[in-house]
Structure 1
């Protein structure tokens, strides 16, 4: 039996409880998402149809079903959005820091397992579990979200922060980056609690940076409209900017207008040289391009963090 397989078995034994908890969370989450997309969705849709058909002042409407659907959707979406921080907390606390702090890592290196194989085994199994479990949850969440289209009025927009990540591979990529970040932090700061705190904080910064960069990873769309038509595309996708177009073709912020009618505001806008409104945004057709480009950037960061972990370990062990 190779030293790598021995190290992988030891990794499984060492972290079997964490893997069991992760598997349980995935199974429970998957079951709830299937229920959300099926029976609970049907109940909420019937309640919404009753509300739409109601013409009288007093109607019998199944508000409870719609409430249960919205509450469970929010709970599951919030839970999935917090997955990277759960992975970060575990990776920072136990993946490398705890073994170096307790000395079990040093013991393994004296038993025929090279430091590089030790680290590879520590990363491979959790990465597989995160990818498989996270992928299942993301696929089921997108299925549940898609099942609500044209059936209830509470369907979340695809561009909303929590829904965007819970619906696509970018969330799995953030989790993998958090895993690699935890391994690197544990090697640099081989103390459990400090490594945990640093990893969670760094994951939050990485997540925020990825979300800030996301709209610029794919060409956006600009819609121009007349003043009387309002802003096109506003609140229908990922917005980058909106404002007023001028006679010279420039795009400037829309002047403030406290008038009660659009005609009065239009005259104020025209006095400033305005000709219409513009909105620069990403429409629904850009959902997958944004998902894939964001995932690619995060996977590149994951690869760099992993390479840095091996470099730090090689320097640490000589």
Structure 2
């Protein structure tokens, strides 16, 4: 039996409870999401139909299914959005830092397992488990979200922060990046609690940076509306920038208007030479390009962090 397979078996034994807990969370999430897409969605759709039939007149509506669906959706979506931070906390605390802090890694390196193979085995199993579990939950979340199309008028917009990530592969890429951050942090700071805190903080910064860059990773579309129709894509896409169009065709910031009457604001804009609003944004057709480019960026960062981990380990072990 190869030393790599022995190391992989030891990695599973070392982290078996984490694997069991992760599998349990994925199983529970799978059940809840399938319930949301099926029986709960049916109840919510009936509740929505009752609300629509009621109109503006007085009537008694039992919308228990609708309320339960909305609260369950919020809870599950929040849980998926926080998933990278759960991975970061575990990776920072146990992936490499715990063995280096306790000194259990040194005997492994002197018993035929090279440091590079030791690190490879520590990364491989968690990467497979995290990718499979997070990928399944993301796919089911998108399925549950899509099941409400045409059946309810309260579906969360695809462009909303939590829904955008919970519905696509970019969230899985963030989880893998968190895993790589944890491995590198544990090698640099081989103490469990400091490594945990640093990993979570760095993952938050990385997630924030990726979200900030995301709208610029794919060309946006620009539309011009008259003042009466407001900004294009304001509640239907991811906005990049907006402002006012002048009579010369220039795009300038919209002058501040504190009036609560639209006509007064329009007169103010016209005094500044404005003829309408412009908005650069990403429509629904840009969903997959944004998801894939963001995922690619995060995977490149993950690869760089992983390579840095091997370089640090090599220098640490001579």
TM-score by length of 2: 0.98
**How far did residue 270 of structure 1 move?**
1.3
Q: Which residue of 2 aligns with 1:203?
A: 203
Q: Which residue of 1 aligns with 2:72?
A: 72
**How far did residue 58 of structure 1 move?**
3.3
Structure-2 separation of matches of 1:49 and 1:210: 39
Q: Spell out, residue by residue over 1:21-64, the C-alpha distance to the aligned partner (whole angstroms, 9 max, x if none).
A: 00000010011000001110110010000110114743232221
**How far did residue 257 of structure 1 move?**
2.9
**How far did residue 71 of structure 1 move?**
0.8
Over the residues paired in the alignment, what is the CA RMSD in angstroms?
1.1
Q: Which moved more, 1:241-250 or 1:253-262?
A: 253-262
**Compared with structure 1, are the counterparts of its residues 194 and 56 closer, same or farther at alpha carbon in structure 2 (3 Å cutoff)?**
closer
**Compared with structure 1, are the counterparts of its residues 49 and 11 closer, same or farther at alpha carbon in structure 2 (3 Å cutoff)?**
same
Question: Is 1:29 equivalent to 2:5 in the alignment?
Answer: no
CA contact (8 A) 1:245 1:252 kept: yes
Q: Which residue of 2 aligns with 1:104?
A: 104
**How far did residue 267 of structure 1 move?**
2.3
**How far did residue 260 of structure 1 move?**
4.8
Question: Is 1:220 equivalent to 2:220 in the alignment?
Answer: yes
Question: Is 1:128 equivalent to 2:122 in the alignment?
Answer: no
Q: Spell out, residue by residue over 1:92-133, the C-alpha distance to the aligned partner (whole angstroms, 9 max, x if none).
A: 000000001111110101111000000000000000000000
After TM superposition, list the pairs within 5 Å mapping 1:222-261 onto structure 2: 222-261=222-261
Q: Which residue of 2 aligns with 1:297?
A: 297
Q: Which residue of 2 aligns with 1:268?
A: 268
Q: Which moved more, 1:249-258 or 1:302-311?
A: 249-258
Structure-2 separation of matches of 1:250 and 1:221: 17
Structure-1 separation of matches of 2:268 and 2:113: 75
**How far did residue 10 of structure 1 move?**
0.2
**Compared with structure 1, are the counterparts of its residues 86 and 56 closer, same or farther at alpha carbon in structure 2 (3 Å cutoff)?**
closer
**How far did residue 153 of structure 1 move?**
2.5
Q: Which residue of 2 aligns with 1:175?
A: 175
Structure-2 separation of matches of 1:20 and 1:74: 25
> For structure 1, which runs of at least 5 residues remain unmatched after alignment?
none
Structure-2 separation of matches of 1:220 and 1:278: 12
Q: Which residue of 2 aligns with 1:288?
A: 288
Secondary structure, aligned partner of 2:280: strand
Q: Which residue of 2 aligns with 1:137?
A: 137
CA contact (8 A) 1:91 1:196 kept: yes
CA contact (8 A) 1:50 1:60 kept: no
**How far did residue 154 of structure 1 move?**
2.1
Question: Is 1:13 equivalent to 2:17 in the alignment?
Answer: no
> For structure 2, which runs of at least 5 residues remain unmatched after alignment?
none
**Compared with structure 1, are the counterparts of its residues 118 and 57 closer, same or farther at alpha carbon in structure 2 (3 Å cutoff)?**
same
Structure-1 separation of matches of 2:278 and 2:233: 9
Structure-2 separation of matches of 1:192 and 1:265: 57
Q: How many residues align?
A: 318
After TM superposition, list the pairs within 5 Å mapping 1:298-317 onto structure 2: 298-317=298-317
Structure-2 separation of matches of 1:257 and 1:100: 60
Q: Spell out, residue by residue over 1:278-301, the C-alpha distance to the aligned partner (whole angstroms, 9 max, x if none).
A: 111111111110000000000000
Structure-1 separation of matches of 2:4 and 2:185: 23
